[in-house]
Chain A
């Protein structure tokens, strides 16, 4: 994409308001009930348990049963689920060009056990009309290890609770739920009574369990079920990620620093850590639920990487950098088992030319991934994300576009941060997001800003003037006669 096109796109964007906190919630009266204006003609619910977060896809054919055109579709969640759900995205399965679906959290009665997401259709659906929605969302901290504590070398099993009837605020005519586990070893799963010619659900094919198809179910129908499957991989949960990006025009550099608080939410150790067993098992390198290593694929051209924690540099890291990749491999100080915690910091520098472009109109466009983070086969989930971009001193007219689900963004602020001999401070863009997973790694964060040229020269002039003042003061003080003259 040409920089100028990005700029125009951004300028045309001017979408949501900045410089003020923005929350994608809708206020509705406390006794709110979704109007029964739709029915789900057909619904396929895919629960993917392959990563250490749960990815759920609800592909639903909705039909407007009311007389008037409708544009608001509600999806219910329990209060507990609502705090852990994230990355909520909606697409039209038939027509990819169908405009953006805006998704909001409905804010009506915080004590209610059922909460809603509201999907606003791009165009009102006329009476009797049908539309196919592809709804995707993720649950974090979704599993419970069972047994909760296991020996160091044992295999870890996780259990997940769900409902074979997909959650819906509307009656569903026909539905099917597929559960994809991480492995074919599924020792326990709930069996439910069959429907039609199948005597009993689910049908198991390898690592896939299929519940349904079921017949018509009323709105809010639910059936408790659980599945317990082998997951001998770490259940990595990042409770806090602070990502600082500092753009320097003078230095021609973009500095990244990321601070992670990492938890392992898998099975705890049933007895204390045994070094002998651990050292012996390392010869065979078996699959283990302990987290031993993380790999961060950084942007090509990243340099000066570091890996530290609260008590200093961690020497067990390796950085491979060449024309094609820049891979940072980290080993924590100790293998991380279930219930253990490891906060750490990584950082690197990169040439500003890779991230910042000048537009024809004189402004700048900064583009970087919203999220980088480790690339792990088992996936990584992020509970709180705080991305802060420090633009040069005096940057103004800031516009930004974060290509992550809008309902995950909690707050966006533009304020001022003073550092490195700043006089008026740098413009700091802070984006707080919640409940994202590593599938959003490649989404972009694009910021447009302008820096007046007077601002660029500000710092050298200020420093020059301060030194001059110091010298002048020193000279003046040196001229003062103190004490009694000896003449």
Chain B
């Protein structure tokens, strides 16, 4: 593509050709971006992936069925039983509304598209737009015409972004990354032009971003930081004043329209930098004005008083309001951004999510491949002529890298700037080495002499530089060839990663038959469909919160806890029920009107993401609330091992989770050969005994096991004696008192 745009010939004809080429290349990039996200649709089917997307899908269906206002006021009594959830006020509606608008638009054109297909294909469609936004953003950074196209191509296929936007990954990030990049583009545009119109557009897209993803706080913090750095560098200008003020005022108002955000922008610490810089910009603007009408000496004292006064009052106000409780201090999730160990100690529920773990270093290479080493080069190029927008790249790069290192999930926010910076570096190389023209000796000499003189023009140096280039064809070919090889490797790496790591729906598992054909393991849907069809409409299902959204979406049954995790105590209650013995769990389940309990068990198939492996988190979260009743230590053997076989501790063996996982499992195997294939341990021949619940359904590969909570006994016995009676065991004879015989030991 660099070759295509290099054909520099002026004149209206060349201009048109280049525009046409550029448009068609952008379309091809968008097509490639969409196509590379379709692996899962082709390999499996058009299905919503993983966990959170199932909630978004369900909410979208609700929106489409009931209209916007009902959706806005949606109180969902089918989750968090018996508390319910004010769903309309606790979600980011941007995603659902976007799909709803697309759905109704297509309906208006009488194109009968299933809402599911819109949801599945939304993320790929928006990835095409993201590529375009990256193109626009990069074009603001450099004059090289190839950099934008390269950035678009990188953005389109880099796994760091694909990981969150494959077809079926119907999550907030699906549209949020496009909005993030586009908002940044508008911000740069506004800043460059000092235009209120662009600032307003920026605020508009910021509002859309706020409506779509909690990650909007990243923009809320990066833009003030950029402004602050610029002021600190002595680059305050009316352009900055206009664009920042416009963005902040309109953007904040826009963000407050979302019920879930509401007054947070003036009440929480995460939003305070933006507010502070807003005040600071006013102050600086005021000072600039005062300076123009004062003598230098007066001005100095004036500045000192004003600054000291303003900062002092501001800080005191912030501290005071925080301590009085008007401004919320940093939330726990925010603290865990600064101290990676924080969550593990204080909020196990955040730490229990794998995507909140600190990033492992190979992940950077895995997700960004060669971009990760082109990235610093691109940032370095920004320093070469450090205009306002380049400062933005530098600031964004620094913070993005830090956050990406702290949380795996934030790799996503780093990816756009990596693509932009890497594209700048790559295009620099290609522009230099791909030039077909051979420089002649005099020009070089000229260039040398001009270079010797100090040139003061800082802007547009690349453009004004005389055409000095590479002489020999060999070095050109070598470098360009090397670059081409890297680009090809990058493409193949991206394809490989996308196809192998990011395209599994995780609801459906694929395995290979001995003859190499694909075999689908569909236990999740088997169980959910069974629940949906064969239990009563309002049967409450208790499961660990991971499966809450899926049960809501696929089985359409009320759940106790789900992936929203807004109520830690409720989750801990479920954790306690799972990790306690039946005597303790049964009353808890009765109190919460639980009809069925669902556990995931991978022992037969060797499926490692099962509940026994997650069990310690349940224990930890329950221990956080009931440290007296649930103790993590009791689940480890005296040698500190977490075991499930005959050596397991009594607490472990008596816990409801253990019993439900291994109930009846031994009867599948010949005596003495019961094996748990996940933990590779041999289980005792005597399986656990259940008294208060009974097995209701187990899927074909035993991945999902559903238990029915028994009703109270008809005859008024307690369930333990009723169950032992059913098993044919005689009542303990100790109660029946015959004539006692003196026992001689």
| Residue count of chain B within 8 Å CB distance of chain A | 32
B10-18, B21-29, B527-535, B644-652 - interface stretch: B527-535
Across the two chains, which residue of chain B brings its CB closest to A337? Answer: B534
Contact B529 A333 (CB under 8 A): yes
With both chains docked as a complex, state the minimum distance between the C-beta of B422 and any C-beta of chain A, in angstroms.
34
With both chains docked as a complex, state the minimum distance between the C-beta of B477 and any C-beta of chain A, in angstroms.
43
Contacts known (A311-B525, A311-B528, A312-B45); A275 close to B110, Cβ less than 8 A? no
The residue from B112, B522, B529, B697 contacting A272, defined by CB atoms under 8 A apart? B697
With both chains docked as a complex, state the minimum distance between the C-beta of A18 and any C-beta of chain B, in angstroms.
25
Contact A310 B695 (CB under 8 A): no
Q: Whole-angstrom distance between the alpha carbons of A273 and B111 in the complex?
A: 43
Interface string of A373-404 (1 = CB under 8 A from B): 00000000000000000000000000000000
The residue from B526, B667, B700 contacting A276, defined by CB atoms under 8 A apart? B667
The residue from B47, B109, B526 contacting A421, defined by CB atoms under 8 A apart? B109
Q: Whole-angstrom distance between the alpha carbons of A316 and B664 in the complex?
A: 26
Contact A275 B698 (CB under 8 A): yes
Q: Whole-angstrom distance between the alpha carbons of A272 and B699 in the complex?
A: 13
Contacts known (A272-B708, A273-B697, A276-B664); A420 close to B112, Cβ less than 8 A? yes
Across the two chains, which residue of chain A brings its CB closest to B705? Answer: A275
Interface string of A177-218 (1 = CB under 8 A from B): 000000000000000000000000000000000000000000
Interface string of B665-680 (1 = CB under 8 A from A): 0011000000000000
Contact B110 A418 (CB under 8 A): yes
The residue from B520, B532, B534, B699 contacting A310, defined by CB atoms under 8 A apart? B532
Q: Counting CB contacts under 8 A, is B489 at the interface?
A: no
Q: Whole-angstrom distance between the alpha carbons of A312 and B41 in the complex?
A: 12
With both chains docked as a complex, state the minimum distance between the C-beta of B467 and any C-beta of chain A, in angstroms.
30
Contacts of B530 in A (CB 8 A): 333-334
The residue from B508, B525, B533 contacting A340, defined by CB atoms under 8 A apart? B533
Q: Whole-angstrom distance between the alpha carbons of A272 and B525 in the complex?
A: 19
Contact B529 A309 (CB under 8 A): yes
Q: Counting CB contacts under 8 A, is B468 at the interface?
A: no
Contact B694 A279 (CB under 8 A): no
Q: Whole-angstrom distance between the alpha carbons of A275 and B667 in the complex?
A: 11
Q: Counting CB contacts under 8 A, is A343 at the interface?
A: yes
Contact A274 B695 (CB under 8 A): yes
Contact B529 A276 (CB under 8 A): no
Interface string of B76-114 (1 = CB under 8 A from A): 000000000000000000000000000000000111100
With both chains docked as a complex, state the minimum distance between the C-beta of B581 and any C-beta of chain A, in angstroms.
22
Q: Counting CB contacts under 8 A, is B696 at the interface?
A: yes
Q: Whole-angstrom distance between the alpha carbons of A279 and B667 in the complex?
A: 11
Q: Counting CB contacts under 8 A, is B349 at the interface?
A: no
Across the two chains, which residue of chain A brings its CB closest to B54? Answer: A311
With both chains docked as a complex, state the minimum distance between the C-beta of B192 and any C-beta of chain A, in angstroms.
15
Q: Whole-angstrom distance between the alpha carbons of A420 and B664 in the complex?
A: 53
Q: Whole-angstrom distance between the alpha carbons of A276 and B687 in the complex?
A: 13
Contacts of B112 in A (CB 8 A): 419-420
Across the two chains, which residue of chain A brings its CB closest to B45? Answer: A313
- Which A residues between 259 and 277 are near B, CB-CB below 8 angstroms? 271-276
Across the two chains, which residue of chain B brings its CB closest to A308? Answer: B45
Q: Whole-angstrom distance between the alpha carbons of A19 and B203 in the complex?
A: 56
Contacts of B528 in A (CB 8 A): 311
Contacts of B700 in A (CB 8 A): 275
Q: Whole-angstrom distance between the alpha carbons of A274 and B696 in the complex?
A: 7
Contacts of A420 in B (CB 8 A): 110-112
With both chains docked as a complex, state the minimum distance between the C-beta of A478 and any C-beta of chain B, in angstroms.
13
Q: Whole-angstrom distance between the alpha carbons of A272 and B697 in the complex?
A: 7
With both chains docked as a complex, state the minimum distance between the C-beta of B165 and any C-beta of chain A, in angstroms.
20
Contacts of A333 in B (CB 8 A): 522, 525-526, 529-530
Contacts of B228 in A (CB 8 A): none
Contact A342 B533 (CB under 8 A): yes
Q: Counting CB contacts under 8 A, is A315 at the interface?
A: yes
Q: Counting CB contacts under 8 A, is B702 at the interface?
A: yes
Q: Counting CB contacts under 8 A, is A341 at the interface?
A: yes
- Which A residues between 1 and 57 are near B, CB-CB below 8 angstroms? none
Contact B529 A310 (CB under 8 A): yes
Contact B526 A334 (CB under 8 A): yes
Q: Whole-angstrom distance between the alpha carbons of A80 and B324 in the complex?
A: 73
Contacts of A313 in B (CB 8 A): 44-45, 47
Contacts known (A272-B697, A333-B525); A340 close to B534, Cβ less than 8 A? yes
Q: Counting CB contacts under 8 A, is B539 at the interface?
A: no
With both chains docked as a complex, state the minimum distance between the C-beta of B140 and any C-beta of chain A, in angstroms.
19
The 13 listed contacts between A and B (C-beta, < 8 Å) are: A272-B694, A273-B697, A274-B695, A275-B698, A275-B699, A315-B508, A316-B522, A333-B530, A341-B533, A342-B533, A419-B111, A420-B111, A420-B112
Using a CB–CB cutoff of 8 Å, the interface residues on chain B facing chain A are 44-47, 109-112, 508, 520, 522, 525-526, 528-530, 532-534, 554, 664, 667-668, 694-700, 702, 708
Of all A-B residue pairs in the complex, the 6 with the closest CB atoms, nearest first, are A275-B698, A315-B520, A313-B45, A333-B526, A311-B554, A272-B696
Other A-B pairs, 4, CB within 8 Å; known A316-B522, A340-B534, A418-B110: A273-B695, A311-B529, A342-B533, A419-B110
